[in-house]
Amino acid sequence: MARIVMKFGGTSMAGIERIRLVARQVKREWQAGHQVAVVVSAMSGETDRLVNFCREASPLYDAREYDVVVASGEQVTTGLLAIALQAIGVPARSWLGWQLPIRTSEAHAAARIIDIDTAAMDESLARGEVAVIPGFQGQGADGRITTLGRGGSDTSAVAVAAAMKADRCDIYTDVDGVYTTDPRIVPRARKIPRITYEEMLELASVGAKVLQTRSVGLAMKERVRVQVLSSFGDPDLPPTPGTLVVGEDEIGDENVESQLITGIAYDRNEAKITLTAVPDRPGAVATIFAPLSEANINVDMIVQNVAHGTGSTDVTFTVPGAELARSIDVLEKAQATIGYAALVPNTEVCKISVVGVGMRSHAGVAATMFEALAARGINILAITTSEIKVSVLIHEDYTELAVRVLHTAYGLDAEDAA
Amino acid sequence: MARIVMKFGGTSMAGIERIRLVARQVKREWQAGHQVAVVVSAMSGETDRLVNFCREASPLYDAREYDVVVASGEQVTTGLLAIALQAIGVPARSWLGWQLPIRTSEAHAAARIIDIDTAAMDESLARGEVAVIPGFQGQGADGRITTLGRGGSDTSAVAVAAAMKADRCDIYTDVDGVYTTDPRIVPRARKIPRITYEEMLELASVGAKVLQTRSVGLAMKERVRVQVLSSFGDPDLPPTPGTLVVGEDEIGDENVESQLITGIAYDRNEAKITLTAVPDRPGAVATIFAPLSEANINVDMIVQNVAHGTGSTDVTFTVPGAELARSIDVLEKAQATIGYAALVPNTEVCKISVVGVGMRSHAGVAATMFEALAARGINILAITTSEIKVSVLIHEDYTELAVRVLHTAYGLDAEDAA
């Protein structure tokens, strides 16, 4: 007997027919003798509908009331799944965020989970009942409903798994696992059987939208074994294994050694800003990034080209595309302080990242990347690296070509499809 | 300064534009210096949508999970009205059923309110905040969400008014008050300025669907002054006075004396059953009504025609139209015990009732009714009376004629329209 959490997203909960299929998947695990808690999203489209109601009612809505409104989406699917489970003979009951409770911060609409009291739920599980829990919601110390911010249901699932010391947290999605890169770009992309939390974090944050970044961070901190797998298989048969996200100790040394790169990601949602003729003096860079930081804008890649002899320099950096307008506004207001000549924005860029814990013990990963791109005439606009990642910024027109070239260069192409 | 409860139904809450109008009506009372609690229904159509989800998920749904699902409708409108109020400068906050809490029985999907803890809400009201409360929902002793059964929001409003010792409970609806009869049948029908709880109960239960019967019973028990008024006036102007439902002491003696009949109601949802040749012996009637009572079927009017010398009798009675099929089933199973010859059902009937506390001190009310109907050739199939009501059963084809004739006979026609 294992204790497992199963999480189903909005697509899986969209309508009663799909909820019935989810119920059969849950029954399969319950019949195998496991203790099962299920975390569910709202029906797909429902959260958008509710958010729009709030915006219509007032663009400056009170986040506490917004939470009252939008949390109802998961409340509905929670009750319906409990009913659908009972209909096929599985004892089940719902546990709303305020009923467990799932205690969160009071940052309404963007709350963080503090802890989850599973005492009552554990008794219910021990009696053989399935627990159905709404994702995305909790309760603040003020006693009011909170929500975790969009996409928070993965985080709820991992937090529930941690609190109930689950053996595994299965995230059922519309893909059947994490791939070496986007299969729409590289048909030879392979499903990765096991990936470390660190790698998954890097892949998630650079555009492989399988798991919410925040949920992976929490899983790493709490050592929750997460499995990503498809929700669209035959609900009555054991599911095809997906990708297991685990600690490095579970990967095995030979895997780490043999596999230089685990995956390749791309992110088109970056924007490049170049400030020309910034005075080349100590502290100049601080005058650029301090106001951006104050405005809560995350700066990612930074390149500084010192033009010797002129006393000035061009500074290039990237910000999230959605923050470009706000960044320009902040920088224009600070023009006198910074003293740049011109601000040149560019949204036609893409960030390509190669990720793998194996690169820690191998030199030459970056060199392979630069050579492979250069051989195809792809110009690199900026570079950043971390212990397990190398990212480059290129013109967005070269995105697919760059991903394919690197996938082959690092030996990731599937053999059967070769 | 008064303490008032304002209640808005599903039509008034159907969409953000209407919720904004409701907010302006609430602001008007708040600006007048009153302490205001608002009780709201779900958007019109929403509860049906949620109920259908539950039925689709399982016809035999668990009422506890049904409550989780359907209570979400009022949760949404509660949050949205709080946002809309804040948007026009009115401090407001939502109080969900489990937050006050509104304590109910554990009869899920048909719970009764036990008590409401208004301590925290009272502090909020004293700070000048408007309280927004979802109708229809509460919390059982099991800690889970309960609902009061369909149309329960009027009852919620009256219960909140009783708990907070409100000076008045204003029920905003799509009609502007209680009329002497249905204005669609009698254009000369007049709005009744004041009506007693007892009269309103009789009118509500015989088909004048302005207020839920249950809410009137609670208002009478708790002595809550209820006003029925239109939600469609100019939201920024004082509303046109509607109908005040109060104790007899507030009506004034001269009103009671001068007004013989307060209103005339009709109810087409009755069905007549005649059992022929029932043995005329002691206890025979009990063999008919005991099984109906066991099946929870309410029998209303009863007529027994003893045919002298035959040793048998015909028994005629009415049941709610929706219970006719079940009644026939029960009676057919009991045919041997009862010993009747034939069962003759008839749904083409209508019950006409004249109601008024004034009839207590006046003889001849029933006689006036029978004479007026006889003069138009309308045959009376059955009669029941209570202290303040006389009801007759007639063929449904005569419904409108009977209502008009009686409205005139009792001097209820409006003079300005005469």
Task: Check residue B310 and give its pLDDT.
Answer: 75
Q: Provide the pLDDT for residue A416.
A: 57
pLDDT at A163: 97
Lookup result for tokens 């969900």: B96
Within 8 A of A78 by CB-CB distance, chain B residues are 68
Confidence of residue A418 (pLDDT cuts 50, 70, 90): very low
d(C-alpha B164, C-alpha A86), whole Å = 40
pLDDT tens digits, residue range A195-207?
Answer: 999 999 988 776 6
> The tokens 């911060």 sit on which residue?
A105
Mutation target vs A (from B21, B48, B56, B65; most A CBs, 10 A cutoff): B65
Query: What is the Cα–Cα distance from B316 to B288, expressed in whole angstroms?
Result: 11
Chain A residues whose CB is inside 8 A of the B97 CB are: none
Question: Looking at residues A304-322, what average pLDDT do you find?
Answer: 83
d(CA A237, CA A122): 27
With 0-12 CB in 10 A as exposed, 13-18 as middle and 19+ as buried, what is A87? middle
Q: At what angle do helices A72-87 and A46-57 cross, to 10 degrees?
A: 150
User: Distance between CA atoms of A229 and A191, rounded to whole angstroms?
Assistant: 11
Number of residue pairs across A and B with CB atoms under 8 Å?
A: 113
Number of H helices, E strands in chain A: 14, 20
- Are A14 and A44 in contact by the 8 Å Cβ rule? The answer is yes
Rounded CA-CA distance A101/A116 in Å is 6
Which residues in chain A have their CB less than 8 angstroms from residue B57's CB? Answer: 16, 19-20, 80, 83-84, 87
3-state secondary structure of A375: helix
| CB within 8 Å: A62 and B84 | no
Q: Residues A298-303: what's their mean pLDDT?
A: 89
pLDDT of residue A170 exceeding 50: yes
Polymer length of chain A? 418
Q: How far apart are CA B110 and CA B137, in angstroms?
A: 10
Per-residue pLDDT of chain B (418 residues), as tens digits, is 899 999 999 999 999 999 999 999 999 999 999 999 999 999 999 999 999 999 999 999 999 999 999 999 999 999 999 999 999 999 999 999 999 999 999 999 999 999 999 999 999 999 999 999 999 999 999 999 999 987 799 999 999 999 999 999 999 998 889 999 998 899 999 999 999 999 999 887 766 678 888 899 999 999 999 999 999 889 999 999 999 999 988 887 655 556 789 999 999 999 999 999 998 887 888 899 999 999 989 898 988 876 667 788 899 999 999 999 999 999 999 999 999 999 999 999 999 999 998 888 777 889 999 999 999 999 999 998 888 999 999 999 999 999 999 999 999 998 754 3
β strands within B365-416, DSSP E: 382-386, 389-395
Chain A residues with beta carbon closer than 8 angstroms to that of B58: 83-84, 86-87
Residue B304 · residue B276 · CB < 8 Å: no
Tell me the chain A residues in contact with residue B67 when contact means C-beta distances shorter than 8 Å.
79
Is A96 within 8 Å of B68 (Cβ atoms)? yes
pLDDT score at A1: 85
- How many angstroms separate the CA atoms of A218 and A245, rounded? 12
Nearest to A42 by CA among A18, A9, A74: A74
Comparing C-alpha atoms, which of B36, B54, B357 is closest to residue B201?
B357
Which residue ranges make up each domain of chain B?
Answer: 3-251
Residue A417 has pLDDT above 50, yes or no: no
Q: Which residues of B touch A65 (CB under 8 A)?
A: 79-80, 82-83, 86, 93-94
- Dist CA A64 CA A107 (whole Å): 9
Place of tokens 């409701």: B22
What are the structure tokens assigned to B379, written together?
A: 């045959």
Q: Does the predicted model carry a pTM greater than 0.90?
A: no
Burial of A80 from C-beta contacts in 10 A (0-12 / 13-18 / 19+): buried
Mean pLDDT, rounded, for A312-332: 93
Architecture of B3-251 per CATH?
Answer: 3-Layer(aba) Sandwich (3.40)
Strand partners of residue A37: A5, A131
The pLDDT of residue B235 is 92
CA B257 to chain centre: 26
CB contact (8 A) between residue B58 and residue A86:
yes
Instruction: Give the residue among B30, B47, B5 at the shortest CA–CA distance from B218.
Output: B5
3-state helix, strand, coil in chain B (%, to 5): 40, 25, 35
Q: Does residue A135 contact residue A161 with C-beta atoms inside 8 Å?
A: no
Q: Is the peptide bond before B282 cis (omega within 30 degrees of 0)?
A: no
- Find residue B169's DSSP bridge partners: B5, B226
Tokens representing B328 are 């026939």
Amino acid, res. A67: D
Q: Chain B interface, mutation test: which of A17, A38, A48, A58, most B Cβ atoms within 10 Å? A: A58
DSSP states of A96-124:
-TTTTTEEE-S-TTS--EEEE--HHHHHH
Distance from CA of A268 to the nearest CA of B (A): 36
Tally the residues of chain B: 418
How many whole angstroms separate alpha carbon A38 and alpha carbon A130? 7
Taking only the tens place, the pLDDT of each residue in A277-293 is 998 887 888 899 999 99
Q: What is the mean pLDDT of residues A392-396?
A: 95
* Cβ–Cβ gap A58/B98 under 8 Å: no
Are residues B75 and A94, on separate chains, in Cβ contact within 8 Å?
no
Could you tell me which chain B residue has the CA closest to the CA of A87? B58
- Spell out a b/e string for B160-189, using b for 16 or more CB atoms within 10 Å of the CB, else e: bbbbbebebbbbbbebbbbbbbbeebbebb
Would you tell me how many other CB atoms lie within 10 Å of the CB of residue B332?
A: 11
Q: Say whether pLDDT at A41 is over 50.
A: yes
Hey, are the CB atoms on A56 and B16 less than 8 Å from each other?
yes
The answer to whether the Cβ–Cβ distance between B80 and A99 falls below 8 Å is no
Q: What separation in angstroms does the CA of A309 have from each of A312, A340, B154? A: 8, 17, 81
Instruction: Give the ipTM.
Output: 0.84
Tokens of A197: 């939390």
Residue A378 has pLDDT above 90, yes or no: yes
Tokens in use for A128? 């053989």
Binary contact (A99, B16; C-beta < 8 A) = no
Nearest to A65 among B20, B72, B94 (CB): B94
